[in-house]
Structure 1
Amino acid sequence: MSQTIAQIAKALDAQAVGDLEISVTSAAEPASAGADQIALAMSSKYAEGLAQGSARAALLWEGADWQAYGLEAAIFVTRPRLAMAGLSKAFDPGPEIAPGIHPSSLVDPSAQIAPGAAIGPFTVIGRDVVVGPNARIASHVTIAEGARIGADALILAHSHIGAGVIVGDRLICQPGAKIGADGFSFVTPETSTVEEARASLGKTNEIHEQSWVRIHSLGSVEIGDDVEIGANSCIDRGSVRATSVGHGTKLDNLVHVAHNVQVGRDCLLCAGVGVAGSSKIGDRVVLAGQVGVSDNVFIGDDVVTGGGTQIFTNVPSGRVIWGSPAVKMDQQIDLNKSVRRLPRLFAQVAELRETVTRLTQKGGTE
């Protein structure tokens, strides 16, 4: 997938100088870049590597003296990570999925497969499934009855789309993701010890044997456009209404979204996040790695969390939080500083206690 410097600059909407017809096949770090690669030196701290590599062209920071580094062409960028998004897209060929329906796949006769769709080997597509135009479905994927897959979707190997699940256009479903499994919802015939402990904040009545009765999941999952689901992530179907994920939201690997949860638009849920049942998450919320959200919690728009945060109560819009339990991030930083001071404080208290004891004993002998 060779690209000229002119083509790359156009894709990035960036200024380019020098020989714009130079062709490159991939990107590389400056020190290891070959003559057929474009070097990534979008900050001056990476400039030293240009002399060690053999790149003829590079992505540079604005104002860089490109000719001083022996380059024949350069592209100037102002926002490096945004430039990386465009550059990586230009060089990513995507997975190899042959056009049409592979002979080893099993497609129910009632399924509607739109023109341009590609279905890989050993894939099973159930009754009344609708697969949109140009959708690509890799090998060993299961799409259960009544599911609807939007246009230009990409569903990778060993993923499962449950019955009645609706996913929008341009979904990216990484390997092993499971959308539409039953929710984890159980009840006991009598009041359970869990309910007693929660109502009393820890106190329970006499412990007695209990058996769990399953609450079946009658709802489905609805996913908007331009959503990405990470590898081995799970989104459970709702108990009655659908679990939902809004347009543009991205889920990292190993994320769990439980039954009845509503996730807004353009959210980021990073690796290891778990959102318990019936919680509602607003738009543009960022949940960092290993964040936990308790059930029936509301998180407002534009909330940002630090890694490992545990959210047990509602969070107002626009708040930046951290810790367990979650508090404002600046408050948690102060708490952490106070905890680090505790050993010194204990030593000072012990010293004061020893001094008081000594003075008391001395006063008693006089």
Structure 2
Amino acid sequence: MPHTIAEIAQALGLRAEGALDLAITHAAEPAQAGRDALAMAMDPKYAAGLAQGQAQAAILWDGADWQALGLKAAVFAPRPRWAMAGISELLDPGYDFGAGIHPQSFIHPSARVADGACIGPFTSIGARAVIGPNARIAPNVTVAEDVVIGADVILHAGARIGARVRIGDRFIGQPNCVVGGCGFSFVTPEPSGAEDVRASLSGERQVRAQKWHRIQSLGAVRIGDDVELGANSSIDRGTIRDTVIGSGTKIDSVCQIGHNVQMGEDCMMCGMAGVAGSARIGNRVLLAGKVAVNDNIFVGDDAIVGGASRVFTNVPAGRAVLGDPATKLETQLEIRKIIRRLPRLVANVAKLQDAVFGPDRKG
């Protein structure tokens, strides 16, 4: 559905100039924008692309000369990415989940589905499950027994929700996510080789044949409101207590959260990151891509963990860490500077050895 520039500016709370009645149908990059597109040119480096495209209107950086750029109208965005969030929400056509309960879905007779919920074909809703108002559940989703799902939840195709999981309102589960799989917990009759190494912090251990025995996951998973779980990501159920994800937390694709993890509110966990069992993550923590958090440690409120870091010890609240093993950001940057100097240092040491021992030294 077309939107006028005036409607877009009002929806985003931004200033607009020019032909405010100009209608656009979609957003586009400047060079690919047609006459009915809103060009995304929120930084001066994108200005050249406007001349290559045919856009009549654009979202521009604050203070841009829209007329000199050959436009008929412009919306000005002091904070570009915030404006991007608003415009993407306004123009998003969404997904077609259909209406009502598809006849090829299976709803257990004891399950309760609230008004306005949509359930797609080949989806299974288990015994005593509760599906909240206006939930939208795509095809090929599995919701197990005794699950409670809140209002306005979206479960995309292939999502799997395990038994006794509790999910709050407005949860978004991207395709093939899994909530409530069994935790990865195993034990051997005698102390395992891994336990010996961990206790001694050396390679010395008693080598013996061992068989692994599963520790069953008696807990479940509790998820707050406004949480998003990315495609192919998983959250394991707890061993005794529930695994908990706080409200507002956003988890990217291909992430793993182990059993018993307690994650706070408004956290962000980027792609391929993992949190091992029984770790505690505070509120508003950022775990960048490929971060690994060790089991049974604590990451404090407002901590930031840089990409590909390996966190083996507790992280105090508010600290930014980086590296493997993760250290304070400023410490890690100094370490990396020193590493870059190593070839020159080795060469200098070789020259000193030549001066002291002669070029024919051995070793």
Measure, in 2, the Cα distance between the counterparts of 1:270 and 1:359: 53
What is the aligned partner in structure 2 of residue 184 from structure 1? 184
Secondary structure of 2:67 counterpart:
helix
2:305 & 2:95 partners in 1: Cα distance?
33
> Given the alignment of the two structures, is residue 288 of structure 1 paired with residue 288 of structure 2, yes or no?
yes
> Do structure 1's residue 3 and structure 2's residue 39 form an aligned pair?
no
* 1:73-93 deviation per Cα after TM superposition (whole angstroms, max 9, x unaligned): 111111000100010111111
d(CA) in 1 for partners of 2:228, 2:234: 12
Aligned-partner Cα distance in 1 for 2:148–2:142? 13
Q: Does 2:51 match 1:45?
A: no
Moved more, 333-342 or 234-243: 333-342
How far the C-alpha of 1:4 sits from its partner, in A, is 1.4
Structure 1 equivalent of residue 161 of structure 2: 161
Q: Which amino acid aligns with 1:85?
A: A
State the partner residue of 1:356.
356
| Inter-partner Cα distance in structure 2 for 1:270 and 1:69 | 37
Q: Which residue of 1 aligns with 2:206?
A: 206
1:217 equivalent in structure 2: 217
Asked if 1:128 is matched to 2:147, the reply is no
How far did 1:204 drift?
3.3
- CA distance in structure 2 between the partners assigned to 1:46 and 1:339 by the alignment: 37
Instruction: Provide the C-alpha distance between the structure 2 equivalents of 1:253 and 1:339, rounded to a whole number of angstroms.
Output: 33
For residues 50-96 of structure 1, give each alpha carbon's deviation from its aligned partner in whole angstroms, at most 9, with x where no partner exists. Answer: 22221111111111121222222111111000100010111111111
| Alignment check: 8 A CA contact 1:193 1:204 kept | no
Name the CA distance, whole Å, in 2 between partners of 1:357 and 1:30: 66
Deviation of the 1:196 alpha carbon: 1.0
Letter matched to residue 247 of structure 1 = S
Amino acid corresponding to residue 215 of structure 1 in structure 2: I
Q: Which residue of 2 aligns with 1:303?
A: 303
Q: Secondary structure at the match of 2:68?
A: helix
1:348 partner SS: helix
CA RMSD of aligned residues (A): 1.4
Shift of 1:360: 12
Within 5 Å, give how 1:110-125 maps onto structure 2: 110-125=110-125
Distance 1:206 1:26 in 2: 66
CA distance in 2, matches of 1:341, 1:299: 32
Note the 1:1-366 alignment, pairs <5 A: 1-358=1-358
Counterpart residue identity of residue 245, structure 2: V
SS of equivalent residue, structure 1 residue 67: coil
Larger displacement relative to structure 2 (97-106 or 199-208):
199-208
Distance 1:360 1:220, change over 3 A: closer
Cα distance in 1, alignment partners of residues 136 and 295 from structure 2: 35
- Inter-partner Cα distance in structure 2 for 1:116 and 1:47: 45
Q: Separation in 1 of the partners of 2:167 and 2:287?
A: 22
CA distance in 1, matches of 2:290, 2:69: 43
Aligned residues of 1:220 and 1:238 also touching (Cα < 8 A) = yes
Residues 95/360 of structure 1: CA separation in 2 closer, same or farther (3 Å cut): closer
Q: Which runs of 4+ in 1 moved over 4 A?
A: none
Distance in 2 (CA, whole Å) between partners of 1:165 and 1:36 is 45
Letter in 1 for 2:16: A
Identity of aligned residues (%): 56
Distance 1:148 1:358, change over 3 A: same
Unmatched 5+ residue regions in structure 1?
Answer: 362-366
**How far does the alpha carbon of each residue in 1:275-318 deviate from its partner, in whole angstroms, 9 at most, with x for none?**
10000000111111100011001000111111110000100001
Shift, 1:203, TM fit = 4.1
Q: In the alignment, residue 73 of structure 1 is paired with which amino acid?
A: A
* 1:167-205 deviation line (CA, Å, top 9, x unaligned): 111111000000000000011111111111101002434
State the one-letter code of the partner of 1:96. D
Residue type of the partner of 1:134?
A: N
Q: Distance in 2 between matches of 1:359 and 1:102?
A: 84
TM-score normalised by length of structure 1 = 0.96
CA distance in 1, matches of 2:137, 2:319: 39
Distance 2:293 2:205 in 1: 28
Equivalent in the alignment of 1:364: none
Number of residues paired by the alignment?
A: 361
TM-score, normalised with respect to structure 2? 0.97
Could you give the per-residue CA deviations for residues 249-281 of structure 1, whole angstroms, max 9, x where no partner exists?
000001000000011111111011111000000
What letter is aligned with 2:2?
S
CA distance in 1: counterparts of 2:124 and 2:157, whole angstroms: 12
Give the CA deviation at 1:330.
1.4
Encode CA deviations 1:205-250: one digit per residue, 9 max, x unaligned. Answer: 4211111111000000000111000000010000011001001100
What is the distance in 1 between the residues matched to 2:287 and 2:360? 56
User: Unaligned regions of 5+ residues in structure 2, if any?
Assistant: none
